[in-house]
């Protein structure tokens, strides 16, 4: 009987694990340049190295671009004895992330839980100074080992008391705080951990991580006050981790979560959703269809808020398959909290998140629309090359300009478009978070233009931008908006301090924002020959007038690039001088220079 029953199971067990060919979470997350991650188990705590299990590893690397050890980098697994570290699990995670081209997050350098017995014992008798030395050595060793591999750390986890406001106690008791602590009062021990972590890896992003801060209330206020103080005093902190262990019952309320995200973002900090799971009531581990649908709606709702918050740069689930989740052991009667079921099949939450990635309109803010040469914001001019920053959409790697079948610069790059009053503009390049376009000449004469950007057919809300006749700016040679200008010899070599322009010689300055062209210029067209700008143009080098031999479209480049051929004033002596071009009475940005000999 038993043999027969086993045979029935064989197809389930023996079947080769192949993911159905469908859109994956990783594909759509990459397009939206959101780090979508999962915690994973790599054999710590005596458990199995799940990364060695094909279905686990395949699902993880197929659907996620970010990885974090659920337990491997906590004190107990990684520092089991006072003088011994065990990096086995952590190294497996680092190797897996490297092989699968995933980002790797570290969790956690300081926590009141999961500390090894030797440390808890030490805390009973050690001096704060000894505890400080132990903590510093741990941070130096662990952060140092993964320097350049772990891009972000949960430096401190769950240090704020759950009753932060009720009785005024801000911080939870712990061996690191006051039992016996490391000899620092208040939040100073948390600050110290951040400073040590930053010293160990100055490039890693450092986060404070906690739960039950996803809505307004005393605990969030305490966290906000603490990180606001850190930011004000230059403590090296880069973000706050919101754990997001929730149910599908409505917490956190969307408005409250947005409010909390905005408050953290306003400090210039990033937001990572670090441990999301949506636990459901289960019977023998099985949830109802209705609850699975509610779960999908919750994953979609939280992801939407993250996508609409540019500062929200990562969303991690705490595990990804119901086969391995902390929930059933911690919340009796609950389970099925993760996007994939115990057989690694996608639950409704997966399709819901894919749809969310593909349908939630990206956010656009007018101060993200700047001149492509000077990065100055404000009004736009006909033909101006602009750059839009902050658009969380588009290709993960840069896609450069292309000509369409009419020989015009294409207005659709990798499913991204930028529209002015509903008309798609030529695109210079597109990259998630940054897209460069040419303001159509057709906006000339309008007071304002309505800018939208679109990814995969989904448009942002329109943003109104004022239109001016000219908004000139000179391209910098290093594309920083200042410093040596993109200024060429007649032979088209770039003039540099090593190869200065002789006085009296003609140089070619490349700029944009010069406005309309006499006789009109075709939006997206490649300038075939010389032309004349409608607005008057003058130039100075070192404050001296520079004769202009030509000022107009740059032959061979897209209409909108201004070429000014000017003569370096003979009266100048060798040196580095500011270059200023004035178009229609408007000056280019300060700080662009030319080297003269």
Q: What residues are labeled active site? A: 158, 275
Please state the closest distance from residue 243 (CB atom) to ligand G3I, in A. Answer: 5
Q: Where in 375-394 is the site for ligand G3I (CB under 6 A)?
A: none
45 binds ligand G3I (CB under 6 A): yes
| Among the residue ranges 18-26, 41-49, 264-272, 404-412, the one whose residues contact ligand G3I (CB under 6 A) | 41-49
Contact flag: residue 260 with ligand G3I (CB under 6 A)? no
Q: Closest distance between ligand G3I and the C-beta of residue 349, in Å?
A: 19
Given a contact cutoff of 8 angstroms between Cβ atoms, the answer to whether 452 and 364 are in contact is yes
26, 33, 63, 74: which one binds ligand G3I (CB under 6 A): 74
Beta strands 385-389 and 369-371 are antiparallel
User: What is the spatial distance between Cα 503 and Cα 574, in angstroms, rounded to a whole number?
Assistant: 8
If the CB atoms of residues 243 and 436 are measured against ligand G3I, the closer one turns out to be 243
Q: Which is nearer to ligand G3I, 113 or 532 (CB)?
A: 113
Beta bridge partners of 419: 424, 452
Q: Which of 191, 275, 341, 452 binds ligand G3I (CB under 6 A)?
A: 275
Compare residues 48 and 166 and give the one whose CB is closer to ligand G3I.
48
Q: What are phi and psi of 312, to 5 degrees?
A: -85, 105
Judged by CB under 6 A, the stretch of 6-14, 42-50, 261-269, 450-458 that binds ligand G3I is: 42-50
Q: How far is the CB of 71 from ligand G3I (least distance, A)?
A: 5
The answer to whether residue 214 forms part of the interface with ligand G3I (CB under 6 A) is no
Is residue 578 near ligand G3I by the rule CB under 6 A?
no
Stretch that binds ligand G3I, among 5-13, 70-78, 212-220, 557-565 (CB under 6 A): 70-78
Q: CA nearest 13: which of 48, 45, 50, 53?
A: 53
Q: Which is nearer to ligand G3I, 70 or 384 (by Cβ)?
A: 70
**Buried b or exposed e, range 313-341, using 16+ CB within 10 angstroms:** bbbbbbbbbbbbbbbbeebeebbbbbbbb
Minimum Å gap between C-beta 36 and ligand G3I is 19
Question: What are the angstrom distances between the C-alpha of 314 and each of 160, 302, 490, 530?
Answer: 22, 12, 48, 48
Q: Let me know the angle formed at the C-alpha of 344 by 103 and 298, rounded to the nearest 5 degrees.
A: 75
The reply to whether 47 sits near ligand G3I by the rule CB under 6 A is yes
User: DSSP assignment, residue 368?
Assistant: G
Residues 238 and 267: their CA atoms lie apart, in Å, by 10
CA 388 – CA 381 distance, rounded (Å): 15
Query: In the stretch 226-255, what mask flags binding to ligand G3I with x, by CB under 6 A?
Result: -----------------x------------
Stretch near ligand G3I under the rule CB under 6 A, chosen from 69-77, 96-104, 441-449, 530-538:
69-77
CA distance 588 to 474: 6
CA 591 vs CA 186, 348, 374, 479: distances in Å: 45, 54, 10, 13
Q: Count residues near ligand G3I (CB under 6 A).
A: 13
SS3 content of the chain, % helix, strand, coil (to 5): 25, 30, 45
Closest CB 150 distance from ligand G3I, rounded Å: 16
CB of 114 to ligand G3I, least distance (A): 4
Q: Least Å distance between CB 261 and ligand G3I?
A: 19
Residue 162 interacting with ligand G3I (CB under 6 A): no
CB of 337 to ligand G3I, least distance (A): 11
Task: State which residue, 243 or 559, has the beta carbon closest to ligand G3I.
Answer: 243
CB closer to ligand G3I out of 76 and 565: 76
Q: Is 326 in the site for ligand G3I (CB under 6 A)?
A: yes
Footprint of ligand G3I on 96-125 (CB under 6 A): 113-114
Angle of the 289-307 helix axis to the 254-265 helix axis, nearest 10: 30
70 burial via Cβ count (<10 Å: 0-12, 13-18, 19+): buried
Residue with tokens 């990814």: 455
Smaller CB distance to ligand G3I: residue 70 or 201? 70
Question: How many other C-beta atoms are found inside a 10 Å radius of the C-beta of residue 82?
Answer: 12
Residue 428, φ and ψ in degrees, nearest 5: -85, -40
- Which long-range contacts does 46-53 make (Cβ < 8 Å, 24+ apart)? 49/89, 49/92, 50/324, 51/92, 51/93, 51/96
Per CB under 6 A, 46 contacts ligand G3I: yes
Of 74 and 238, nearer to ligand G3I (C-beta) is: 74
We find the least distance from the C-beta atom of residue 108 to ligand G3I, in angstroms, to be 7
User: Does residue 157 bind ligand G3I (CB under 6 A)?
Assistant: yes
C-alpha 402/C-alpha 413 separation (Å) is 8
* Choices 40-48, 160-168, 184-192, 341-349 (CB under 6 A): range interacting with ligand G3I: 40-48
Nearer to ligand G3I, 117 or 367 (CB): 117
Please provide the DSSP assignment of 57-68 as one string.
HHHHHHH-SEEE
| Identity of the residue, 46 or 202, whose beta carbon is nearer to ligand G3I in the bound complex | 46
DSSP one-letter code for 44: G
**Is 452 a residue that touches ligand G3I (CB under 6 A)?**
no
- Do 412 and 424 touch, CB atoms closer than 8 A? yes
Q: Which stretch binds ligand G3I (CB under 6 A): 22-30, 43-51, 198-206, 417-425?
A: 43-51
Q: Which of 30, 68, 70, 214 binds ligand G3I (CB under 6 A)?
A: 70
Q: Which is nearer to ligand G3I, 71 or 516 (CB)?
A: 71
Task: Supply the DSSP string of 507-524, one letter for each residue.
Answer: EEEEEE----BTT---TT
Neighbour count for residue 158 (Cβ, 10 Å): 20
CA-to-CA distance for 410 and 429, rounded, in angstroms?
Answer: 10
- Least distance from C-beta 171 to ligand G3I, angstroms? 17
Counting contacts by CB under 6 A, is residue 71 touching ligand G3I?
yes
Residues of the shown chain interacting with ligand G3I in the complex, contacts defined by CB under 6 A: 41, 45-47, 70-71, 74, 113-114, 157, 243, 275, 326
């Amino acid at each position: 009987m038993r043999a027969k029953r086993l045979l029935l199971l064989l197809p389930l067990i023996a079947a080769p694990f192949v993911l159905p060919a469908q859109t994956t979470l990783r594909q759509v997350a990459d397009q939206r340049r959101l780090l979508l991650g999962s915690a994973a188990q790599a054999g710590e705590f005596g458990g199995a190295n799940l990364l060695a299990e094909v279905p686990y590893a395949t699902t993880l690397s197929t659907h996620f671009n970010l990885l974090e050890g659920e337990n491997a980098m906590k004190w107990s697994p990684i520092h089991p004895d006072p003088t011994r570290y065990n990096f086995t699990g952590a190294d497996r995670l680092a190797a897996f992330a490297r092989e699968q081209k995933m980002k790797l997050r570290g969790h956690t350098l300081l926590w009141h839980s999961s500390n090894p017995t030797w440390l808890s014992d030490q805390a009973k008798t050690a001096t704060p100074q000894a505890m400080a030395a132990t903590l510093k050595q741990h941070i130096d060793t662990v952060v140092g080992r993964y320097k350049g591999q772990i891009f972000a750390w949960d430096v401190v986890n769950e240090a704020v008391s759950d009753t932060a406001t009720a009785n005024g106690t801000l911080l939870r008791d712990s061996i690191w705080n006051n039992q016996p602590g490391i000899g620092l009062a208040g939040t100073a021990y948390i600050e110290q951990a951040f400073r040590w972590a930053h010293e160990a890896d100055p490039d890693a992003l450092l986060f404070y991580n906690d739960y039950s801060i996803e809505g307004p209330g005393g605990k969030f206020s305490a966290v906000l006050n603490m990180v606001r103080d850190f930011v004000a005093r230059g403590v090296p902190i880069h973000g706050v981790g919101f754990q997001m262990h929730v149910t599908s019952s409505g917490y956190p309320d969307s408005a409250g979560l947005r409010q909390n995200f905005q408050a953290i973002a306003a400090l210039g900090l990033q937001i990572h959703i670090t441990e999301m799971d949506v636990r459901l009531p289960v019977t023998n581990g099985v949830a109802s269809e209705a609850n699975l649908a509610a779960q999908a709606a919750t994953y979609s709702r939280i992801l939407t808020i993250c996508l609409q918050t540019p500062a929200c740069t990562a969303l991690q689930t705490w595990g990804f398959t119901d086969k391995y989740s902390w929930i059933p052991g911690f919340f009796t009667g609950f389970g099925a909290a993760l996007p994939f079921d115990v057989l690694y099949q996608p639950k409704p939450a997966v399709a819901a998140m894919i749809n969310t990635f593909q349908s939630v309109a990206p956010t656009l803010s007018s101060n993200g629309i700047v001149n492509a040469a000077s990065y100055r914001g404000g009004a736009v001019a006909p033909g101006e090359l602009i750059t839009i920053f902050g658009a969380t959409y588009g290709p993960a790697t840069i896609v450069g300009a292309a000509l369409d079948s009419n020989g015009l610069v294409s207005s659709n790059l990798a499913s991204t478009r930028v529209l002015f009053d509903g008309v798609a503009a030529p695109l210079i390049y597109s990259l998630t978070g940054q897209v460069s376009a040419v303001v159509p000449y057709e906006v000339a004469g309008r007071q304002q233009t309505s800018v939208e950007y679109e990814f995969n057919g989904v448009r942002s809300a329109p943003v109104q931008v004022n239109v001016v006749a000219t908004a000139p700016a000179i391209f910098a040679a290093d594309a920083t908006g200042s410093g040596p200008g993109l200024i060429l010899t007649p032979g088209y070599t770039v003039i540099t301090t090593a190869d200065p322009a002789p006085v009296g010689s003609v140089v070619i300055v490349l700029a944009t924002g010069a406005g309309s062209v006499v006789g009109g210029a075709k939006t997206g067209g490649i300038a075939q020959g010389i032309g004349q700008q409608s607005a008057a143009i003058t130039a100075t080098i070192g404050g001296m007038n520079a004769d202009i031999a030509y000022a107009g479209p740059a032959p061979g480049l897209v209409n909108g690039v201004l070429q000014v051929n000017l003569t370096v004033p003979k009266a100048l002596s060798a040196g580095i001088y500011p270059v200023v071009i004035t178009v229609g009475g408007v000056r280019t940005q300060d700080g662009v220079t030319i080297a003269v000999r």
